Chains A and B, each alone.
Chain A
Amino acid sequence: QVQLVQSGAEVKKPGASVKVSCKASGYTFNNYGIDWVRQAPGQGLEWMGWISVNNGNTHIAQRFQGRVTLTTDTSTATAYMDLRSLRSDDTAVYFCAREAATGFLLYWGQGSLLTVSS
């Protein structure tokens, strides 16, 4: 069965960086894109970006451009989301999600809580 297992909770100081991982299993990793979505406490879902595992192409939401880098390691079937210059309003649960062939998000990770606090 398809599983996406994310890294654990992190606490960071403002200005720092964080790297969240998402390890995939149960399917051919190269065949499907991975999206990243975040959810601030008590708020809705916010789409951050997408990476094609096949060729490394990315689409990053405009508000995150310059602060977010999406990468994958096909040898370990793991996707990564790097977020730099952290601010307190980056405090959120970060989800990775595997796309279906046409782009909707079929499988989700369990979420990784990031707390940014001085």
Chain B
Amino acid sequence: IVLTQSPGTLSLSPGERATLSCRASQRVAGNYLAWYQQRPGQAPRLLIYGASGRATGIPDRFSGSGSGTDFTLTISSLEPEDFAVYYCQQYGGSPYAFGLGTKLEIK
């Protein structure tokens, strides 16, 4: 399965809403789709699992939606610490591929 993330870069201001897309080349089994945030110099951090389940400790401004081949990560109101790179990953079947990422930058 190939995961295509869009846009490649998203320029927004704090307080704005961010919508990130992840499209799979074929159906993701069980909607086993995760989203990770990666800040510079850090390991990735799990945000969302199972397309819409929020990981422990993740603020409720982060939400995931979608099923089948189309998935979305929404950040309702951007905080300064949210500007980072976001990756989707499918884990419904090997290989557990990642998308190429969306860089969320400050406008």
Give residues in A with beta carbon < 8 Å to B: 35, 37, 44-47, 50, 59, 61-62, 95, 97, 99-100, 102-106, 108-111
Contacts and interface: CB of A to CB of B under 8 A. Distances in A.
A45 B95 contact: no
B87 interface: yes
Given A47-B95, A47-B97, A111-B43, A106 B32 contact: no
B44 A59 contact: no
Contact of A104 (B85, B89, B94, B100): B89
A105 B46 CA distance: 7
B62 interface: no
A61 B95 contact: yes
B106 to A, nearest CB: 19
Given A102-B49, A104-B32, A105-B34, A45 B98 contact: yes
Interface in B1-47: 30, 32, 34, 36, 38, 43-46
Contact of A44 (B32, B45, B87, B94): B87
B43 to A, nearest CB: 4
Contacts of A111: 43
B87 A45 contact: yes
B50 interface: yes
Given A44-B87, A45-B87, A104 B98 contact: no
Given A45-B36, A95-B44, A108-B44, 5 more contacts: A45-B44, A102-B30, A104-B46, A105-B44, A105-B46
A21 B105 CA distance: 34
Closest 10 CB pairs of A and B: A103-B91, A108-B43, A59-B94, A104-B34, A104-B49, A45-B98, A44-B101, A61-B95, A44-B100, A47-B96
B16 to A, nearest CB: 24
Contacts of B85: 44
Interface string B78-107: 000000010101011011111111000000
Between A37, A59, A95, A109, the greatest number of chain B beta carbons within 10 A of the residue's beta carbon is seen for: A37
A35 B95 CA distance: 11
